[in-house]
Structure 1
Amino acid sequence: MRGLIGAGPSWVRSTARAASTATAVFAAVVLFAAGCGTGGTGARDEGPAHADSVASAPAAAASARPSRTPDRVDAVRLVKADPAVSAEVKRDLKPCVADEYPVDVSYGNLTRGAVDDVVVNVLTCGDAVGVGSYVYREQGGSYVNVFSAEEPPVYAEIDRGDLVVTHQVYERGDPVSSPSGENVITYRWGPGRFTEKYRTHNDYGQVAGTEPSPAPAG
Structure 2
Amino acid sequence: MRGGLTQVGPTPARGTIQAAITAMTVLAALALFVSACGTGGTGARDEGPAHADAVVGATAPPSASPTGAPDRTEAVRLVKNDPAVSAEVKNELKPCAGDEYPVDVSYGHLTGGSGDDLIVNVLTCGDIVGLGSYVYREDGDGYANVFKAEEPPVYAEIDRGDLVVTNQVYEKGDPVSSPSGENVVTYRWVAGRFRKEYSWHNDYSSVVGDEPTPVPTTG
Q: TM-score, normalised by structure 1?
A: 0.70
Inter-partner Cα distance in structure 2 for 1:83 and 1:175: 33
Q: What residue ranges of structure 2 are gaps of 5+ in the alignment? A: 1-44, 47-54
1:85 paired with 2:120, answer no
Contact 1:29 1:78 in 2 (8 A): no
Instruction: Give the fraction of aligned pairs with identical amino acids, expressed as a percent.
Output: 65
Match in the other structure for 1:206: 206
Name the aligned partner's letter for residue 187 of structure 1. Y
1:23 paired with 2:25, answer no
Name the aligned partner's letter for residue 212 of structure 1. P
Check 1:21–1:81 CA distance in 2 against 1; reply closer, same or farther (3 A cut): closer
Match in the other structure for 1:75: 75
Q: Kindly state the Cα deviation for residue 26 of structure 1 after the two structures are TM-superposed.
A: 4.7
Root-mean-square deviation (CA, aligned residues, Å) is 2.1
Inter-partner Cα distance in structure 2 for 1:24 and 1:79: 17
Check 1:24–1:124 CA distance in 2 against 1; reply closer, same or farther (3 A cut): farther
1:137 paired with 2:172, answer no
Name the aligned partner's letter for residue 99 of structure 1. D
Contact 2:183 2:200 in 1 (8 A): yes
Contact 1:122 1:132 in 2 (8 A): yes
Inter-partner Cα distance in structure 1 for 2:174 and 2:161: 33
Residues 138-171 of structure 1: CA deviation (Å, up to 9, x unaligned): 1111110000000000000000100000000000
Q: Kindly state the Cα deviation for residue 131 of structure 1 after the two structures are TM-superposed.
A: 0.3
Match in the other structure for 1:161: 161
The structure with more helix, counted as a fraction of residues: 2
Inter-partner Cα distance in structure 2 for 1:31 and 1:97: 28
1:103 paired with 2:103, answer yes
Match in the other structure for 2:176: 176
Check 1:127–1:24 CA distance in 2 against 1; reply closer, same or farther (3 A cut): farther
Q: TM-score, normalised by structure 2?
A: 0.69
Q: Kindly state the Cα deviation for residue 190 of structure 1 after the two structures are TM-superposed.
A: 1.0
1:13-52 map, 5 Å: 21-23=56-58, 25-29=60-64
Inter-partner Cα distance in structure 1 for 2:76 and 2:151: 19
Check 1:169–1:187 CA distance in 2 against 1; reply closer, same or farther (3 A cut): same
Contact 2:119 2:135 in 1 (8 A): yes
Name the aligned partner's letter for residue 216 of structure 2. P
Name the aligned partner's letter for residue 193 of structure 1. R
Check 1:210–1:149 CA distance in 2 against 1; reply closer, same or farther (3 A cut): same
Inter-partner Cα distance in structure 2 for 1:172 and 1:22: 36
Name the aligned partner's letter for residue 23 of structure 1. A
Q: What residue ranges of structure 1 are gaps of 5+ in the alignment? A: 1-8, 11-19, 33-69
Contact 2:110 2:163 in 1 (8 A): yes
Q: Kindly state the Cα deviation for residue 200 of structure 1 after the two structures are TM-superposed.
A: 1.2
Check 1:182–1:155 CA distance in 2 against 1; reply closer, same or farther (3 A cut): same
Inter-partner Cα distance in structure 2 for 1:26 and 1:80: 16
Match in the other structure for 2:7: none
